Structure 1
Amino acid sequence: MAGNKQPVSVLVLMYTRHGRVLLIERADKPGFWQSVTGSREGDEALSETARRELAEETGFGAADGVLHDWAQSSVYEIYTHWRHRYPEGVTHNTEHVFAFELEAECAPQLAACEHTAFVWLGWQEAATRVFSPSNAAAIRQLGERLAPSCGV
């Protein structure tokens, strides 16, 4: 049976200005580490999708940090083991990149049904730990964006 998930999503990198990145481990795929991700619901604005997913997956809200819309996206092929969540015939997703800057590392309140663990890593190590190539590319880009401001 096909699902109804929209093939439009957000990727939200959570980071500190010192280049530390929060990764969360998927409950349905142990060993699969990622940044916050999630699909748009209804016709919500992508920034609202990012805020909603942050709150659902980590417990962080707008007052906890600063949300940046990178105004960039990429299209990738949906992993076959997750295609059942989408309408029949949907094979690709468009992912929009956001970043959420926190003052310092702090523990998220994970949604147990979605994620089982978290870790804060330097951006270089975080980029090698995530399973998704688009997530890794965004983390490397974060490192480039931070380099002038913090000597990362």
Structure 2
Amino acid sequence: MKPYKIPESVLVVIHTADLQVLLIERADKPGYWQSVTGSLDAPDEPLLATATRELFEETGIVADGERIVLRDWRLANVYEIYPVWRHRYAPGVTQNTEHVFSVEVPRDVAITLSPREHLNHVWLPHLDAADKCFSASNAEAILQLPHQLR
């Protein structure tokens, strides 16, 4: 039996200097667009390590800490886990804590999707990207992007 997911995750908003935002379409829910997300692999996995791992696993982007640097917003959202995904968590777990990160990348960065996780990707102006997200916390993070970068 697969171990239960840890109800603590990261959200990584990927953007360019001119606030074009990368969204990826979920393979398990076509039409559901989002930024990079992922749960901790272990309760003691550092959040930055989770964000770095998920960014690479889902897009092929390597946060090297020099040219491509993950930015920890030191912001956590607590939200109700969608019923369709609750079976992945231990019985009785209904909420997840999501830690927000962003990363600025060059517009021509190569994107390599994990085909078992995502079908397509698209670059959109940040307001359009926020509108396209299915997750309210993801949309809100995208809307906060200009303020976080000041």
* TM-score calculated relative to the size of structure 1: 0.92
The equivalent residue for 1:7 is 7
2:31 pairs with 1:31: yes
Which amino acid counterpart does residue 25 of structure 1 have in structure 2? E
How far apart are the structure 2 equivalents of 1:36 and 1:68?
A: 14
Alpha-carbon distance in 1 for matches of 2:81, 2:52 = 23
Question: In the alignment, which residue of structure 1 is the partner of 2:41?
Answer: 41
Consecutive unaligned residues of structure 1, counting only runs of 5 or more, are none
SS in structure 2 opposite 1:38? strand
- Give CA-to-partner distance per residue, 1:37-93, whole Å, 9 cap, x none: 000011210000000000100011123611100000010000000000001100000
Q: Do the aligned partners of 2:21 and 2:124 also contact (CA within 8 Å) in 1?
A: yes
Paired-residue identity, %: 56
Which is richer in helix? 1
Q: How large is the Cα RMSD of the aligned pairs?
A: 1.5
Give the match's secondary structure for 2:31. Answer: coil
Q: Which residue in 2 is equivalent to 1:17?
A: 17
Taking the aligned partners of 1:51 and 1:111, their CA distance within structure 2 comes to 15
Q: TM-score, normalised by structure 2?
A: 0.93
Distance of 1:145 and 1:77 partners within structure 2: 25
Amino acid aligned to 1:15: H
SS in 2 for 1:68: strand
Return the letter of the residue paired with 1:75.
V
Aligned length: 147
